[in-house]
Amino acid sequence: MTVVDRQTRCVLGWSVVWTRTLEAIQRMVDEAPKAKWYYSDGFDAYQWLWYHLGRYEVSVGKADTYSVEADNAELRHYLARLVRKSRCFSRCPYALECAVRLFVYCFNRRQLYKQQFPNYPAHVMDFVSPSI
């Protein structure tokens, strides 16, 4: 699960869960920076969350959730263990968390770089530090 800033497309929060539960989603919302608006797909559990003075709305179509969907597609593109219908999947939740943590770190650095320098190409691998 991911929480994404629509303006920068940076991943603000993420969680590795095997099933989307109300408790897991609430924990992710609590840990992410607070927002004025929260948009989601029509999953039933979202209406029961506490959004810390923010307003929640179910997105009609993909108009308000396209950035989350795009970032999730990037995750599946770069991390083979997240590709759907694949033999390459994580049996160890800790290994999956480490891979997602590294990806989110590099991806967010790339997104901020692209905002600052939109005319220069940037690949996620360009932002992996040699010491990592």
- Report helix, strand or coil for 57: strand
Residue type, 34: K
- Please say whether the beta carbons of 38 and 28 come within 8 A: no
Residue 51, pLDDT above cutoff 60: yes
| pLDDT at residue 90 is higher than 70 | no
Alpha helical stretches, state H, the chain: 22-31, 66-78, 93-116
Reported pTM:
0.78
* pLDDT at residue number 79: 84
DSSP codes, 66-100: HHHHHHHHHHHHH-GGG-TT-S---S-HHHHHHHH
- Return the domain boundaries, the chain: 2-127
* pLDDT tier for residue 27 given thresholds of 50, 70 and 90: very high
Whole-angstrom Cα Rg for the chain: 15
Q: Give the model confidence (pLDDT) of 57-71 as tens digits.
A: 888 877 778 888 888
pLDDT, position 108? 94
pLDDT over 70 (residue 103) = yes
Kindly state the percentage of the chain with pLDDT values over 90.
23
More confident residue, 120 or 131: 120
pLDDT at 120 over 60: yes
- Cβ proximity of 81 and 88 under 8 Å: yes
Q: How far is CA 7 from CA 35, 39, 47, 65, 77, in A?
A: 12, 13, 23, 12, 22
Of 16-20, 77-81, 89-93, 107-111, which one has max mean pLDDT?
107-111
